[in-house]
Structure 1
Amino acid sequence: MRLIPAFFASDDDKFVLRQILKYYLDGTLPNVLTAHRGDIEQWEREPHEKPLRV
């Protein structure tokens, strides 16, 4: 996995951007627009068919 250097105004900005990218690559971007932080954290814990590689 490759790390991409980036600068964010806050940890929450980094968290939101990372989750939007994951949902975009997973093909479920509209769901992230109404997701709560708990939903996103649950999504991170669950196994997925398409592993994310950046």
Structure 2
Amino acid sequence: MGDLAGQGQRRSVFDSYARLSRLQETGELEKIETQHADNRKVIEHLGGVLGES
């Protein structure tokens, strides 16, 4: 895990889960790639990092 701005604080590591699903509003399929991109934004907002697989 990386230090936050060299202050010795550790960043939380998060997993990203996605599945092929339908949007409730339109019934269209939501791509897994779109869900992972949304997850990365949330992880960054929380100050974390995405774990490696």
Quick check: TM above 0.5?
A: no
Higher helix share: 1
Higher strand share: 2
Bigger relative contact order (CA 8 A; separation at least 6): 1
Where on the TM-score scale, by shorter chain, does this alignment land: which range? 0.3 to 0.5
TM-score normalised to structure 1 length: 0.36
TM-score normalised to structure 2 length: 0.37
Larger radius of gyration: 2
